[in-house]
Chains A and B, each alone.
Chain A
Amino acid sequence: MNRRLILGIAKSMLLARWRQTLVAAVGVTFSIAMFITLLSFMNGLNDMLDSLILNRTPHVRLYNQVKPSENQPVNMATEYQDSYNFISSVKAGITRQEIYNSGPIMQAVKADDRVLGAAPKLTAQVFFNEGTIDITGVINGVDVEEESRLFNFQDYVTSGNAIDARNVANSIILGKGLADILVADLGDVVQVTTAQGERFPLKVVGYFQSGIQEYDKVQCYASIATTQKLLGKPANYMTDIQVKLHDLNQAPAVAREYAQLFGIDAEDIQTANAQFETGSNIRSLISYAVGVTLLVVAGFGIFNILNMMIYEKMDSIAILKATGFSGRDVNRIFLLIAMSIGFFGGMVGLVFGFIFSVIIDNIPFNTAALPTIETYPINYSPVFYLIGGSFSLITTYLAGFFPARKASKVDPVEIIRGK
């Protein structure tokens, strides 16, 4: 009974001054809508930039690092065991880049429950011969089907067909930048010289565009067999095994485990791309800061309007108290007014935020650097809506708290005597 009565009084007071109420609510609506839009857009951008690198980066990369032996012979000799040995000009030994035992390792990795898939890779340093000029390049030999499945390879092949790299013998997919330098059209044949000095003609079956120009000027793709042939290596030769996991966050642990298990170098995605995480975090931080600032400003608006309302309603507060409403009842009435402004303003704000996000999501965004993106990216995570909704309630509660307390402390005798 009491609760309904207080609700009724709060409602009447709100509606009696509906213009003021509307202004306060619009403030909340605006800030919540902006908060949602900003966060959705920012995070959409973050996701896009991350995916630019992260989607194509293996979660764990297994390889053999060419490096000097950590256990130099002098340290093993018994007579020098207790001395401190200085060795200068240490060179790498005859370590090969090849992964030993690649077949069984691939099998073991693919059998792991945590692993979504694994794709072999080998890289060859080559020169592209354009008349008298040699242009350096890197040919990545990949398993085209697995590469497409795990790392969206086909999305980045902008002309030609990715699978042709496997189906057409002695074929190559050129980076777009490199193709421009070589003036190589689809179907043309380019001359390639390997580091060993052997010369090969390769047929261009596609262009590859990653979105990072410097990368596209150097990187090319070919099937694993073609690359092995190029290097004069047998069919089990590979330099990298790229592993994609079900859960990205397990990468460091899995990398450590594989390094120990296979006696191999393993690098996880977090170590390889630490800077991306930092960038994303800072962008999120900035958008949260702007959003919260907007809400605080809206909160001050509500605070002002409630303060004014309380001065206007002094008489009403006095008579309510005289006729038996306690300070707590009055406090509740004004808190309720503040919270309903926050609630309804916030709700409408969430809806508007969603509408703005959809609008942004439909604005065309075509850039040569990002072949897979057609409209501005938006992240529709419900978390933002949850945060926005609860923030609107919290700020309006705080904005209503002090005016409501003031109202509850009004001394009816002072008001009534003053008349």
Chain B
Amino acid sequence: MQEVILEARNINKEFHDPVTVQVLRDITFTVNKGEFVSVMGKSGCGKSTLLYILSTMDTDYSGELHIDKELMTGRPDAELARIRNEKIGFVFQFHYLLNEFTVLRNVMLPGMKLGRYSEQEVEHRALERLKMLGIEQLASQSAYRISGGEKQRVAIARALINDPHIIMGDEPTGNLDKRNSDIVFDIFKELTEVHNQTLLIVTHDPEFAENSNRIIEMEDGRIIRH
């Protein structure tokens, strides 16, 4: 029996503006430790919406969400923020690096927030992750001076800084060219194979999905294959 990292039970979600539309219907599935899961589906099928619910950022849904066997549903915002900081890493389509900071500081930010390690240790861990992603030479650069592919890799390093239980990605390769997409995919592959990292990635790139361990396919707010 494998360890369950994330479990969704009967998640329903409706948008009320301008008319009530049910975007997610009765979503139930689990993600085990070390799995590389892609969520596939056409635009508007609700896959991003699902991801934001799973990430605890969207709390307006019915059903139950468990992360690391703990119930997330109904917890106060400050607590959810702490859980996101500690247990979830994010990679978005857009990199969302803070331009005011260097690459290194950007990666360190969630680690400093967590406060589990001293500043020197966080810095050391950030450099380790940058090195693993092959961009340690960029550490002292300003975040806005590096290329798009590099920015996405910095974002991945930032997601990894607190050794999260799960990394969630919303089209992390959506803005990248083929070469950079491949680099990012290889990084994900290596993370799950070498470091046993759990990944849940929303994508509509079929090639990306094919190469992952498991595909969850969605249509009209339902899971049709998993």
Interface residues of A (CB under 8 A from B): 1-2, 5, 9, 12-13, 15-16, 315-316, 318-329, 412-413, 416-417, 419
Contacts and interface: CB of A to CB of B under 8 A. Distances in A.
B78 A326 contact: yes
A16 B52 contact: no
A416 to B, nearest CB: 6
Contact of A2 (B92, B93, B113): B113
Contacts of B109: 5, 9, 320, 323
Contact of A416 (B78, B81, B92, B114): B92
7 smallest CB-CB distances across A and B, nearest first, come from A324-B85, A319-B96, A326-B81, A16-B100, A12-B100, A1-B115, A323-B110
B84 interface: yes
A328 B78 contact: yes
A413 B110 CA distance: 18
B123 interface: no
B100 to A, nearest CB: 4
A3 to B, nearest CB: 10
B170 interface: yes
Contact of B84 (A9, A324, A413, A419): A324
B101 interface: yes
SS class of chain A's interface: helix, strand, loop or mixed?
helix
B129 to A, nearest CB: 14
A325 B82 CA distance: 7
28 contacts: A1-B112, A1-B115, A5-B112, A9-B109, A13-B100, A316-B99, A319-B96, A319-B97, A322-B57, A322-B96, A323-B90, A323-B110, A323-B113, A324-B85, A324-B86, A324-B110, A324-B114, A326-B77, A327-B77, A328-B78, A329-B81, A329-B113, A413-B52, A413-B57, A413-B58, A416-B52, A416-B92, A419-B94
A329 B81 CA distance: 10
Q: How large is the interface on B (under 10, 10 to 19, 20 to 34, 35 or more residues)?
A: 20 to 34
A238 to B, nearest CB: 80
Given A413-B52, A413-B58, A326 B82 contact: yes
Contacts of B58: 413
Nearest to B118: A1
Contacts, number: 77
Contacts of A1: 112, 115
A322 B84 contact: yes
B153 interface: no
B57 A5 contact: no
Nearest to B96: A319
B48 interface: yes
B137 to A, nearest CB: 22
B57 A323 contact: no
Given A324-B85, A324-B110, A416-B52, 14 more contacts: A2-B115, A16-B99, A319-B97, A320-B109, A323-B84, A324-B81, A324-B82, A326-B82, A327-B81, A412-B57, A416-B96, A416-B170, A417-B48, A419-B94
Contacts of B114: 324
A182 B58 CA distance: 96
A328 B55 CA distance: 20
A318 B113 contact: no
A384 to B, nearest CB: 37
A246 to B, nearest CB: 59
B125 interface: no
A329 B84 CA distance: 14
A241 B97 CA distance: 83
B78 to A, nearest CB: 4
B98 interface: yes
A326 B98 CA distance: 17
A319 B77 contact: no
Contacts of B99: 16, 316
B158 interface: yes
A413 B61 CA distance: 14
Interface in B49-81: 52, 55, 57-58, 77-78, 81
Nearest to B84: A324
Contacts of A324: 81-86, 110, 113-114
